Chains A and B, each alone.
Chain A
Amino acid sequence: MITELPPAASTHYLRHLLAAKDATQALQIATDHVATVLGCPVSWAGLVEEEHLVMGAHHGVESTEMAAAWRLKVGEGIGGRVALERRPQMSRDYRHDSRRVPLLKRLIDNEGIQATLIVPILVADVTLGVLYAAHRQPYPWTTEELGTLEAIAHDLGVRLRQLDVDGRREARAAHSEQRAARALRHAQASARLASSFAQQDMPDAALDLLARELGCRVELRQEDGALVRAAGTLGEGNPRVVTRLRLDDDGLLTVVVIHTRELDEDGRAFVDLCVGLFRLQLLRVSERERTAERLTGELVDELLTGRVADWEVVRARMALTGLSVQPGAQILVAGRRVDGAEPPAVELANLLRTVSPGSPTVERGGRVVCVVHPRGRSAGELRDRLCDAVARSRHGWVVGIGRACADLVDYSTSYDEARAACELALRGETTGSVVTAHELGILGMASLPAAHLRTTVHDVLGPLLDLDDERGTTFVATLRTFLSHDRHLPDTAAALHVHYNTVRNRIARIEAVLGVDLRNVDDRFRLETALRMHELSAALGHV
């Protein structure tokens, strides 16, 4: 039965609701209003607290036990189902309703309640509680009464949300505060890291600083996975890779961050920021180091001369400056047959960029030296590409190629061979503009000390050299041409532009002076070797 009330009653109810200072006041206003509007003697409201409905406010309840002990699990009993299913329930006669919960049955019966109408207090899809209207005798609830109770519950729900009855707003505020505090800590840590980076130039120290700020383990690895350096330790928990970032376009160096915590969005953003700073730091340091290397050639000098105190230090420096330390690197030495206006190193660097991108070049002894990594290409392919590039450049480049280096200790040998090959080619003693030490038969010779080369040459060819010096003869050239034409007299004569008999006489003289027999393979081997050493000494300026 809806009591006839002036229209102002609703307005009055809303005003009171708005004036409520807390949830209890709002609930009390609502239950009072229910009793007034529906003309029922009893009304109460339960609020959801975790998994239960607890008494929020009541009107007309007579027993203190009902007020104190009413508590219903969400989903159980009639009120619990209203809260779970978010739709109204009514009971015309409680005494014959099987849905009741035994404990509450006694409370309700003691209160003398026999009919209830229950609606959920909803805000959007969230149930804040339930609102009861009750009579102490069986009562046939009408649809109109149900609508009225739902309207009261709706207004109540809106006000309860304003009052943050379920603490959601407070929780959101607390969460926001936590995020803000974390963001501030992260910003401070990032600033601290950037500041620390600015004060030092050692890549190793940068890795230590990164690990310290992130509180985890950080590794630098090469493209084949080999560990360059690690910093930081892992605490309790199961480690996982949270970031893996390539530090350069070639993918030579990767930073790996390993943490024992699964990072949320904020944590991941912080890690990304710190790793980004580290990448910048490494680029800054390596660029600076590379510039310094270009000026002094210190690192390359150490490699090319083989005067290295600690190979591991060199290996780490190379990795950190972006130089590949993979097996297979080859040293190129280039010179020009004609001088040009453009600085040679720049021009050759441009030329090599088309052959092997990213290869470092330095100037040394008037020649341009380059460390080339084949990156899966064969030595023949490298040579072909160089030939094409040199032919295209039309600047008279001559390039000598040393052996492929199995390890860093081979760099100096490869350099000696490349330099010797280049010098021989520049003297016109080879065909082609790109020559390998292998082709010239000087593998293993180019690194021999000058005195050793001189001694060997004079031991084998001494008398012939003396003759040429003293009398202006060309016995050494004749011998070289004769051997290079497989002891074929007509070809040798044609190559030297002399008569066949002249060659035959000179060869007989050479055999007599040196005491050798050119039909003997051992003698020929000694002479071939000595001739190459002689060429080498001349090319390298030893004689």
Chain B
Amino acid sequence: MRLITFTTGGETHVGALDGDTAVSLTRASGADPRFASMLALVRAGAEALDDARELCDSHPAEAVHDVQEVTLRAPLPDPPRLRDCSLFIEHLQPAFRGMARSLAAAADDPEAEYERLVATGKFDTPEVFSRQVVYYTADHTAISGPGDLIVAPSETRQLDYELEFAAVIGQTTKDVAPEDASGVIFGYTIFNDWSCRDLQMTVMESQLGPSRGKDFDGSNTLGPCIVTPDELGSPYDLRMEARVNGEVWSQGSSSTMHHSFEDAVVHFSRGRTILAGDVLGTGTVLSGSPVEIGKRLKDGDEVELEVHGIGVLRNRVQLPY
């Protein structure tokens, strides 16, 4: 199933995509509280998901909408937690080096300054990234969805997209064994981890994470739908692409992930509780961000992230520069 959250006529619905139609599970179920929100559906477990499948097969006519006539929202607008992980690690080195190059650009001799910065070792990828699942906790209240205008903070001069996707956890549990880890994944969605590179570079010296560089209203975009594992198949062979104004800027594949979602589930649940509705981002695929490829977004640009099997997540940016 391809599960969505959408609004129409001022009402919010949880639904499922069926070709060009959006089936409102909220309405088809007669306002069953399990279908009041995506988080409620995730928390309601496998039985609710089976019921959702049945409602998709048999539903009243008033529960069906043309998908063009409704507004898709972030499928899970209120995750209880959002961890962005470094499941891809190849991206880190070019990203760090790209940031070093941006920092060096202001120097009298940019090339010499770049060499100096690289020689400090601060722009290399620490080995810990390959040994374990490293993550930062993103602001789970700063969620945006498909079509939302991404308004960059007034102080930034370099907003970047990041081409990622994410898994949604389907159970509240702890100490998940490796062989059970895939079973606690509810579904997958596309994730754009918007990043203000200049702010991030400044604050990263604190070694306390990206902080304000990745933290502003709507800085975490999810969508356009959550695809259940049975519908998607393996999440480890998906083509990924980012386009800006229709031009391909980034291409990659989930086959290059160093750590799996299952690794992350095992790691995060060891002695601690993971929650139904938690979102785990993959981190950025190699070349999945303008800072790595020497490009810059302009005000009004349209950014499309496509992960085959999930869909296209489309947003426009409003930049203060």
Contacts and interface: CB of A to CB of B under 8 A. Distances in A.
A239 B147 contact: yes
A219 B316 CA distance: 13
A244 B245 contact: yes
Interface string B277-321: 000000000000000000000111110000000000010100100
Contacts of A237: 68-71, 147
B311 to A, nearest CB: 11
A238 B66 CA distance: 13
Nearest to A237: B71
Contact of B71 (A219, A226, A238): A238
A535 B70 CA distance: 72
Contact of A236 (B70, B300, B314): B70
Nearest to A240: B314
Interface string A231-246: 0000011111100100
Contacts of A244: 245-246
Contacts of B70: 236-237
B299 A225 contact: yes
A226 B147 CA distance: 20
A236 B69 CA distance: 7
B314 A238 contact: yes
A221 B71 contact: no
Contact of A227 (B69, B146, B147, B300): B300
B146 A225 contact: no
A238 B299 contact: no
B72 interface: yes
B68 A224 contact: no
A221 B300 contact: yes
Helix, strand, loop or mixed for chain A's interface?
loop
A471 B301 CA distance: 72
A248 interface: no
B301 A225 contact: yes
A241 B245 CA distance: 8
Contacts of B298: 224-225
A261 interface: yes
Contacts of A262: 68
A256 interface: yes
A226 B317 CA distance: 11
B296 to A, nearest CB: 10
Interface string B237-266: 000000001100000000000000000000
A472 to B, nearest CB: 54
Interface string A420-462: 0000000000000000000000000000000000000000000
B202 interface: no
B137 interface: no
A219 B314 CA distance: 18
A406 to B, nearest CB: 15
A224 B319 CA distance: 11
Contact of B68 (A221, A256, A261): A261
B273 interface: no
B8 interface: yes
B234 interface: no
A225 B147 CA distance: 19
B302 A240 contact: yes
B299 A224 contact: yes
A423 B8 CA distance: 69
Contacts of B8: 236
A183 B23 CA distance: 32
B173 interface: no
A107 B298 CA distance: 72
Interface string B71-103: 110000000000000000000000000000000
B10 to A, nearest CB: 9
A246 to B, nearest CB: 12
Nearest to A258: B316
Contacts of A221: 299-300
Interface string B135-152: 000000000001100000
B7 interface: yes
Nearest to B223: A238
Nearest to B145: A238
A224 B246 CA distance: 17
A236 B314 CA distance: 16
Interface in A167-220: 219
A119 to B, nearest CB: 33
Interface string A250-261: 000000101011
Contacts of B302: 240-241
A237 B6 CA distance: 9
Most B Cβ at <10 Å: residue of A239, A244, A260: A239
Contacts of A226: 299
Interface in A256-274: 256, 258, 260-262
Contacts of B71: 236-238, 260
Given A225-B319, A236-B8, A239-B316, A219 B68 contact: no
B300 A219 contact: yes
A256 B68 CA distance: 20
A260 B314 CA distance: 12
Contact of B316 (A224, A236, A241, A261): A241
Nearest to A230: B300
Nearest to B302: A241
Contacts of A261: 68
Contacts of B68: 237, 260-262
Contact of A238 (B147, B246, B319): B147
A67 to B, nearest CB: 30
A303 B147 CA distance: 40
A209 B147 CA distance: 24
A238 B7 CA distance: 11
A529 to B, nearest CB: 31
Contacts of A219: 300
Interface string B42-75: 0000000000000000000000000011111000
Given A237-B147, A241-B316, 12 more contacts: A224-B298, A226-B299, A227-B300, A236-B70, A237-B70, A238-B147, A238-B224, A239-B147, A239-B316, A240-B314, A241-B302, A260-B147
6 contacts: A236-B69, A237-B68, A237-B69, A241-B316, A260-B71, A261-B68
User: Closest 3 CB pairs between A and B?
Assistant: A225-B298, A238-B147, A225-B299
